[in-house]
């Protein structure tokens, strides 16, 4: 039975807090296993990758190959059925167009003190993207990770994806071809992340690692952060849907199940001000589960992590949304922007009755790699900026140095750093120890 909460109930705050704080991510056992995998890859390189791939994906890299050839990627793309090829091309164009608008511009200006200040943006040199290959094939994840890297100007993109039994997924290969991925490696799990971060005899290390994965992949990204940059530590998928009673309950049920079918730990929450609609949507979920091909996973997720929350008015949903800070927020109301304008924390927002979250997973354009586990409070979805870095620059002439130099010397002396003070004062022909005499 799915969790039902009423905002008017006496125990609502306690029950809602438990829902917000519910832990659905990796435990200590995962952390320990990942630490050992990373240690082994750092120590043994290709030997460790070969052993882990044989153990968990049941194929020998020396036989099946350490890299998928570009010709094989093109073959997979050319052999797609026409409708699927057209859909991937449409998604690719829209994702590229959206991310091109994110490109930052360099800046340079002379301030009132005569100091020239600016910032220059450059792409990182190499990026590693991880594409899951367990429960399902995700060509959309290839596009969502590789295209922003290409738009940013990254010169080398390496894709890691598990290939159980050594059999590549043609959809994933086709998407890699379309996104111009430079290297496709049939390696998954924490060992793939370790190889990207530290390098092996065969695989050169990268600067940034992005992309979703299971608990072991997420934990590996957490542990290598600092050696490489990462997009985020992503957990199980989640959606909050705010819906009034004017919605079709079958539509909303499908929207809820679109997240539940990802994984047994996924979370789908419906917030509504209409008790009758809550009942109809709940019944529709159960009815659809009866015929859903992914019902085994979706049912577990819905029953264990799903929730329906009844509020007195839709406006009351706003603080609940901000507390949950969901990965996906769907506002299916007559005037969705009235609520959207008041929401502070959400990874990506889908406005109106005709904008299901699933459209954002594929063809809308914005990235579907988004913060989970309440991390939308302080982070954003994957973007071009994840593959770029900003370098500030400063240029002073004699007048500008004299304008601001005295303050720098004063602060350096106050911090007990005489060499800092001297590096400025000597240029001003000042003795920082006898400042008053110099003036």
- Are the C-beta atoms of residues 60 and 50 closer than 8 Å to each other? yes
Active site residues: 327-328
Q: Is 244 helix (H, G, I), strand (E, B) or coil?
A: coil
H/E segment holding residue 111: none
Residue 293: predicted pLDDT: 96
| pLDDT band at residue 22 under the 50/70/90 scheme | confident
| Strand pairing category for 388-395 and 116-123 | antiparallel
The DSSP annotation for 372-391 comes to -TTGGGT-----GGGGEEEE
Phi, psi at residue 169, to the nearest 5°? -90, 120
Residue pLDDT, tens place only, 191-250: 999 999 999 999 999 999 999 988 899 999 999 999 999 999 988 999 999 999 999 999
Residue 135: predicted pLDDT: 57
Q: Which domains does the chain have, with CATH numbers?
A: 3-22+235-364 (3.40.50.1980), 28-234+385-389 (3.40.50.1980), 396-438 (no CATH)
Q: Which of 36-40, 129-133, 261-265 is modeled with the greatest confidence?
A: 36-40
Residue 431: predicted pLDDT: 53
* Among candidate residues 166, 97, 177, 102, the one with its CA nearest the CA of residue 139: 177
Structure-token pair, residue 437: 């005499």
Count CA within 13 A, CB hemisphere, residue 264.
Answer: 5
- Are the C-beta atoms of residues 194 and 224 closer than 8 Å to each other? yes
Q: What is the mean pLDDT of the chain?
A: 95
Residue pLDDT, tens place only, 149-185: 999 999 999 999 999 999 999 999 999 999 999 999 9
Q: What separation, in Å, do the N-terminal and C-terminal C-alpha atoms of the chain show?
A: 80
Residues 6+ apart with CB under 8 A from 153: 122, 123, 387, 388
Q: Is 339 helix (H, G, I), strand (E, B) or coil?
A: helix
H/E segment holding residue 160: strand 156-160
Residues 6+ apart with CB under 8 A from 390: 104, 119, 120, 121
Residue pLDDT, tens place only, 112-132: 999 999 999 999 999 999 999
Average pLDDT for 423-433: 79
Residue 439: predicted pLDDT: 46
Structure-token pair, residue 430: 């000042």
Query: Token pair 């301030």 is at which residue?
Result: 111
Q: Confirm whether pTM is higher than 0.85.
A: yes
The DSSP annotation for 204-228 comes to ---SEEE----HHHHHHHHHHBTTB
Instruction: Look up residue 316 and give its DSSP letter.
Output: G
In whole angstroms, give the CA distance from residue 258 to residue 221: 26
3-state secondary structure 252-266: HHHHHHHHHCCCCCC
Residue pLDDT, tens place only, 363-409: 999 999 999 999 999 999 999 999 999 999 999 999 999 999 999 99
- Are the C-beta atoms of residues 372 and 267 closer than 8 Å to each other? no
| pLDDT band at residue 322 under the 50/70/90 scheme | very high
Residue 234: predicted pLDDT: 86
- Are the C-beta atoms of residues 100 and 225 closer than 8 Å to each other? no
- CB neighbours (10 Å) of residue 34? 26
Confidence check: pLDDT of 429 > 90: no
Residue pLDDT, tens place only, 209-221: 999 988 899 999 9
């Amino acid at each position: 039975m799915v969790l039902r909460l009423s905002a008017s109930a006496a125990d609502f705050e306690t029950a809602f807090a438990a829902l917000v704080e519910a832990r659905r991510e990796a435990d200590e056992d995962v952390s320990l296993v990942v630490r050992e995998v990373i240690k082994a890859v750092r120590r043994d390189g290709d030997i460790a990758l070969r052993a882990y791939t044989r153990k968990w994906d049941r194929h020998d890299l020396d036989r099946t190959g350490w890299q998928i050839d570009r010709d094989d990627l093109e073959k997979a793309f050319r052999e797609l059925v026409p409708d699927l090829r057209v859909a991937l091309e449409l998604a690719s164009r829209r994702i590229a167009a959206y991310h091109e608008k994110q490109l930052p511009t360099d800046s340079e200006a002379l301030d009132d003190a005569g100091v020239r200040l600016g910032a220059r943006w450059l792409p990182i040199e190499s990026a590693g993207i991880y594409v899951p290959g367990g429960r399902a094939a995700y060509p959309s994840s290839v596009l969502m990770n590789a295209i922003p890297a290409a738009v940013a100007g990254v010169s080398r993109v390496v894709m890691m994806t598990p290939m159980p039994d050594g059999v590549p997924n043609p959809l994933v290969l086709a998407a890699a071809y379309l996104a111009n991925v430079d290297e496709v490696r049939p390696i998954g799990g924490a060992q793939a992340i370790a190889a990207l971060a530290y390098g092996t005899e065969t695989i050169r290390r990268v600067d940034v690692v992005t992309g979703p994965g299971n608990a072991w992949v997420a934990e590996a990204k957490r542990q290598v952060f600092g050696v490489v940059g990462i997009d985020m530590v992503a957990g199980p998928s989640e959606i909050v849907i705010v819906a009034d009673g004017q919605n079709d309950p079958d539509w909303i049920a499908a929207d809820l199940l679109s997240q539940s079918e990802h994984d047994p730990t996924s979370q789908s929450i419906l917030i509504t001000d209409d008790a009758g609609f809550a009942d109809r949507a709940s019944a529709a979920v159960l009815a659809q589960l009866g015929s859903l091909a992914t019902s085994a996973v979706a049912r577990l997720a819905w029953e264990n992590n799903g929730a329906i929350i009844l509020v007195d008015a839709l406006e009351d949903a706003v603080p609940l949304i901000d507390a949950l800070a969901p990965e996906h927020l769907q506002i299916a109301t007559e005037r969705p922007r009235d609520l959207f304008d008041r929401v502070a924390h959400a990874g990506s927002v889908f406005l109106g009755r005709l904008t299901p979250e699933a459209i954002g997973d594929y063809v809308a354009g914005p990235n579907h790699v988004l913060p989970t586990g309440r991390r939308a409070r302080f982070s954003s979805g994957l973007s071009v900026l994840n593959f770029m870095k900003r370098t500030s620059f400063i240029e002073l002439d004699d007048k500008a140095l004299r304008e601001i130099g005295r303050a720098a010397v004063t602060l350096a002396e106050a911090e007990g750093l005489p060499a800092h003070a001297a590096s400025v004062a000597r240029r001003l022909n000042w003795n920082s120890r006898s400042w008053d005499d110099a003036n």
